[in-house]
Amino acid sequence: MSLRKKIVLYVLLFVGCVALVGTVALYNYRYKLCWQCSTQDYYERGKEFVCSDKEELRQTGLDFLLLAADRQQSAAQILLGECYMGDLPEGYSSFDATTFGCLNGQLPRDPTAAARFFNQAYATLRQQEPADNRLPLNFALLVEKGMIASDNSQQDAHTLYLQAAEQGNYTAMRSLGLEYYKKSDYVAAKKWLSLVAEAGKETEPALLLGDCFYYGKGGVLSYDKAIHWYRVALKTQRTLWASAGEDERLAAEDVPMARIDMAMRQLQKNCMRVPMTLHYRISGNATRYIVHTEDRPEGPIGVVEKTDEGITARINNKVTLARSIPTRSKSFQSMNDGMEWMLDAYARSRFGRSAKLNFILKH
């Protein structure tokens, strides 16, 4: 074989070996090649790789997630924020618990990095309608925790709780109900606590609702409604403790049973009480009721008025109201509803909330 042919052969062998080595390397590291990958592809591959048992593959997965986050992929930003934070706030629900579990131990605790990723995601998603009601709740918890920047953290967190609650998030509805109850805003508290109580996951909301009606919190005293919610609490308690021993079940039922008994006794006393009669009369016209009662000759107890803005009932400032009535003015759908509220509020303030009265219109 001539020297020329040997050289050509050696060159071909060399090129073939290089090509073979390159093919093997390309095959072994093909997972790193994603020339036409979208941001979502990087995110999905990153989630897959970080749960691998191979260290190099896990690192590549983290690189892909970081790349997706840099490209404003909010899900990647939230996931990385969760992992850098480590210990999530109570009530926080991770959207991908599996990937969080894989990646959580691989990243160091870095509150600064966590806050950066959470704030990036919040800036992107705050103007959008969330597809999952857990998202505004999670953001609310992060605002309270100081992980998301806010000029008014209390107001921003409340707004996010409200958004999650309006979309049916149980935890948000419960938090709002308890918040309003503690602030003595019993009308708003009843709205959210009733939804939570009907879910049957715990007894406290139903017991609080029963207490609202038993003690007249929010302006409505009703032993019938109190008994209803106490019975809801009892039903929930029995469901939650169904698998417990008999002694434990009976002990768990003590509180709602005692409340039911307490309200039943008051209801029986109320039924036995001889009703009082309160005569009233109306002056004014069809759009302005001026309401008078015969026990108050010095002037009307209030006015119910219809304007372009709606119907409003206002109790006279000279009338002393009971503490259980939080306002002198309320809006209603009809003139009669406003007048009934005014008469009831006046009667409970004048004669006590347990008084039984008949209202009779005097012409």
pLDDT digits (tens, 9 = 90+) for 158-214: 999 999 999 999 999 999 999 999 999 999 999 999 999 999 999 999 999 999 999
More confident residue, 122 or 21: 122
Nearest Cα to 50, choosing from 4, 108, 106, 92? 106
Q: What's the chain's length in residues?
A: 363
Distance, in Å, from the CA atom of 284 to the CA atom of 160, rounded to the nearest integer, reads 46
pLDDT at 349: 82
Which residues pair with residue 25 across a beta bridge? Answer: none
| Confidence at residue 165, expressed as pLDDT on a 0 to 100 scale | 94
SS3 232: helix
**pLDDT tens-digit series, residues 63-116:** 899 999 999 999 999 999 999 998 889 989 888 888 888 887 788 899 999 999
User: What is the tens place of the pLDDT at every residue in 316-342?
Assistant: 999 888 777 889 999 999 999 999 999
What is the average pLDDT value for the chain, to the nearest integer?
85
Distances (CA, A) of 242 to 143, 205, 256: 38, 20, 16
pLDDT at 175: 93
What are the structural domain ranges in the chain? 39-129, 170-272, 276-361
CATH number attached to the domain at 170-272: 1.25.40.10
CB-CB contact of 216 with 348 (8 Å): yes
According to the model, what pLDDT value does residue 31 have? 43
pLDDT of residue 271: 66
